[in-house]
Structure 1
């Protein structure tokens, strides 16, 4: 199965990765997306937040989590005592997948082929950042890291150990925005982030920690 491996620099820093990712043709999503939306944050971040893929606004601006879901995430992080400037924020898939409806571009869930194709970028990010904790925002991110059998509904908020880092999975902030009871969903989301924050009782090291 084709993937992004041939586009990923064997060494270098996050800036090198980000620049190389601009030319990634590891799957077909680049054909319609405006640009690659790479991860952002300090290279020594102890916490990585990983979502599914960029949305419409992220695709246009070139930065992760800057749309409505990103604004909700910022508010929830602040309430949970996590400084966004101290964490590294990225997505499992770096290009926006969508369907056009008139003038609107509607989010379409990336398929397994696209997730696997983009995995070398996330793996390269993690080799450089080397976080203590990865927070998966939504099932796509969780399955990309923990395998297809993982279920956020069953294992949400539980600490899971891997060889490289600890993992906690929660819902994607866009799911909070779509929830019938947004207040309840938001409160539960903040509690999951507080559980992540509890791993660092003396504060998050790094920028703003």
Structure 2
């Protein structure tokens, strides 16, 4: 995969990056997705939240975190007192990877490590513009995109980690909470507990 680096324009702000990403051919995911889904939020956001990839609803809408997992995450943010206006949301990859089943139904498929690495220049550009106080990674794909393939969310979730001048915290993806059946309330409470750690870093003093 050639990677996205050649498609990322230098020294531009978020609007320029958002426009340029639609022309990205850094990996093959652009061929089937409706569009690239770039991050959303203010350049002055104090926190950046990184998910895995756009889902079916995000791909169709062209906006991140608008599906069921995004709505659950918004609830968790509100519960810990993080102002949604202080959050910039994005994904490790900007195109939706899926398999077609049952006619037109599109089923989420995890992006490969090569695809995540190919898309990393977009995430780097977003972080360089926003310069957040804390980065929250939702799930293993997002965490490993920033912290390396050896990182395990199961071992270090909820911990603030200093990495390349950033404070990074990893937790489970809200979609994992939605998929749980017998212990959904517990899984949600654990997500909220992790986010409280991030919320504490954003409080003055």
- TM-score of the two chains, using structure 1 as the length reference: 0.95
1:99-130 deviations in Å (ceiling 9; x for gaps): 00022100000001100110000001111111
Report how far residue 202 of structure 1 moved: 2.7
Distance 1:173 1:141 in 2: 13
Contact 2:45/2:85 (8 A) holds in 1? no
Structure 2 equivalent of residue 11 of structure 1:
11
Distance 1:140 1:60 in 2: 22
1:39 lines up with 2:39 in the alignment: yes
Distance 1:4 1:151 in 2: 26
Q: For 1:106, what is the secondary structure of its paired residue?
A: strand
User: Superposed, which structure 2 residues align to 1:1-209 within 5 Å?
Assistant: 1-102=1-102, 103-180=104-181, 181-202=183-204
Distance 1:201 1:49 in 2: 17
Report how far residue 83 of structure 1 moved: 1.4
Q: For 1:22, what is the secondary structure of its paired residue?
A: helix
Q: For 1:198, what is the secondary structure of its paired residue?
A: helix
Contact 2:133/2:202 (8 A) holds in 1? no
Report how far residue 200 of structure 1 moved: 2.0
- TM-score of the two chains, using structure 2 as the length reference: 0.97
Q: For 2:204, what is the secondary structure of its paired residue?
A: coil
Unmatched 5+ stretches in structure 2: none
1:163-201 deviations in Å (ceiling 9; x for gaps): 221000000000000113111111111111111101122
Unmatched 5+ stretches in structure 1: 204-209
1:136-164 deviations in Å (ceiling 9; x for gaps): 00000000000000000000001100122
Q: For 1:119, what is the secondary structure of its paired residue?
A: helix
Contact 2:140/2:152 (8 A) holds in 1? yes
